[in-house]
């Protein structure tokens, strides 16, 4: 009945699917998030976005439905392979790049400890990353404008996931490549200094994340196909892409006036 409570215990896919079920069953029942992956703890569990994928694009079918409670226990991360930890770190690094330079500096300083899941620094970084995202969601729950800045790297990354049928790379890996594409595009447009691009990418590589399509053995994907798939993104409007770019580390801008040829150029530069 409508008094039922659904508990989502698991990673991002479990959380998204459970949240979508909770949003639609009897037009909405209460649910609780208990994320057990780093990616889910700092991203999917915060903000109330629930969705399932579609062959045409990622997260195209879903709803905004806030959980009543989110319970995060960093001890669950000890059961995960290192690849999953790296995929979670990319979202924390993203928060640093777009809005929280001190957090980015903390990750740079303690990257080894984070990869080793040392409790004190890990808990601090998870909490700060959640605070960053929660602040954005509080000010723009339904993604009218501000919340879309959290999609830095995701417009490129989601298209990459779609083109590979969600099987050939992890979400975090696709977003990492997408962050390189977004930063390279920012440099090409004269927004971002080359040194900031290098700093971002050096950190991504330092924690073991890919930054180029070739790193994932996906350099055979054409820039044209990737751009075409980006236009299927649910954040595109009036046949214009909403691109999240960075003018400096710790800052973010939204652009909807970038020519396709500039996007294609940036993708080509990030293939290998």
In this prediction, residue 164 carries a pLDDT of 93
In this prediction, residue 142 carries a pLDDT of 85
Portion of the chain with pLDDT greater than 70, in percent = 98
Mean pLDDT confidence for 202-214: 98
Task: Place 58 in a pLDDT band, splitting at 50, 70 and 90.
Answer: confident
Q: Has residue 139 got a pLDDT over 90?
A: yes
Q: Which CATH number fits domain 5-77: 3.40.50.1970, 3.40.50.300, 3.40.1050.10, 3.40.30.10?
A: 3.40.50.1970
How many angstroms from the chain centroid is the CA of residue 235?
A: 14
d(CA 159, CA 232) in angstroms, rounded, equals 8
Q: Which CATH number fits domain 81-269: 3.40.50.2300, 1.20.1090.10, 3.90.1150.10, 3.40.630.30?
A: 1.20.1090.10
Q: Has residue 57 got a pLDDT over 90?
A: no
Q: Has residue 1 got a pLDDT over 90?
A: no
| Nearest Cα to Cα of residue 261 among 161, 160, 201, 189 | 189
Task: Place 234 in a pLDDT band, splitting at 50, 70 and 90.
Answer: low
In this structure, what token pair is assigned to residue 189? 């447009």
In the chain, CATH 3.40.50.1970 sits at: 5-77
Portion of the chain with pLDDT greater than 90, in percent = 84
User: Angle at Cα 267 formed by Cα 12 and Cα 166, nearest 5°?
Assistant: 30
In this prediction, residue 106 carries a pLDDT of 98
Structure letter (DSSP) for residue 70: E
In the chain, CATH 1.20.1090.10 sits at: 81-269
Q: Has residue 252 got a pLDDT over 90?
A: yes
In this prediction, residue 55 carries a pLDDT of 82
Task: Place 238 in a pLDDT band, splitting at 50, 70 and 90.
Answer: low
| Nearest Cα to Cα of residue 266 among 204, 190, 195, 202 | 190
In this structure, what token pair is assigned to residue 26? 């009897």
In this prediction, residue 56 carries a pLDDT of 79
Name the average pLDDT for the chain. Answer: 94
DSSP string spanning 99-160? H-HHHHHHHHHTHHHHHTT-HHHHHHHHHHHHHHHHHHHHH-TT-SSGGGGGGTTHHHHHHH
Task: Place 51 in a pLDDT band, splitting at 50, 70 and 90.
Answer: confident
Task: Place 237 in a pLDDT band, splitting at 50, 70 and 90.
Answer: low
In this prediction, residue 128 carries a pLDDT of 97
3-state SS assignment for residue 47:
coil
- Active-site annotation, residues: 27, 49, 91, 133, 143, 147, 151, 154, 158, 171
Q: Has residue 166 got a pLDDT over 80?
A: yes
pTM of the model: 0.92
Q: Has residue 222 got a pLDDT over 70?
A: yes
Mean pLDDT confidence for 175-191: 98
The alpha helices in 164-218, defined as continuous H runs, are 171-188, 194-206
In this prediction, residue 54 carries a pLDDT of 84
Mean pLDDT confidence for 136-157: 92
For the chain, what is the radius of gyration of the CA atoms? Answer: 18
d(CA 93, CA 104) in angstroms, rounded, equals 6
pLDDT digits (tens, 9 = 90+) for 62-80: 999 999 999 999 999 999 9
């Amino acid at each position: 009945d409508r008094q039922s409570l659904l508990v989502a215990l698991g990673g991002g896919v479990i959380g998204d699917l459970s949240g979508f079920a909770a949003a639609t069953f009897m037009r909405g029942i209460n649910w609780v998030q208990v994320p057990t992956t780093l990616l889910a703890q700092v991203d999917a569990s915060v903000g109330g976005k629930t969705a399932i994928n579609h062959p045409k694009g990622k997260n195209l079918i879903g709803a905004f439905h806030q959980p009543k409670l989110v319970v995060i226990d960093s001890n669950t991360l000890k059961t995960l392979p290192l690849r999953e930890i790296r995929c979670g770190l990319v979202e924390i690094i993203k928060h640093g790049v777009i809005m929280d330079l001190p957090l980015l500096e903390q990750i740079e300083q303690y990257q080894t400890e984070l990869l080793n899941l040392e409790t004190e620094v890990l808990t601090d970084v998870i909490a700060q990353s959640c605070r960053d995202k929660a602040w954005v969601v509080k000010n723009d729950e339904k993604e009218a404008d501000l919340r879309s800045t959290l999609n830095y790297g995701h417009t490129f990354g989601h298209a990459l996931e779609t083109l590979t049928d969600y099987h050939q790379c992890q979400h975090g890996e696709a977003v990492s490549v997408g962050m390189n594409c977004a930063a390279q595009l920012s440099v090409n447009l004269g927004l971002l200094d080359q040194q900031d691009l290098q700093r971002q990418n050096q950190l991504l590589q330092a924690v073991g994340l890919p930054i180029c399509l070739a790193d994932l053995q996906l350099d055979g994907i054409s820039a044209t196909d990737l751009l075409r798939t980006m236009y299927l993104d649910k954040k595109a409007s009036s046949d214009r892409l909403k691109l999240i770019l960075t003018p400096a580390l710790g800052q973010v801008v939204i652009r909807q006036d970038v020519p396709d040829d500039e996007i294609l150029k940036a993708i080509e530069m990030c293939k290998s």
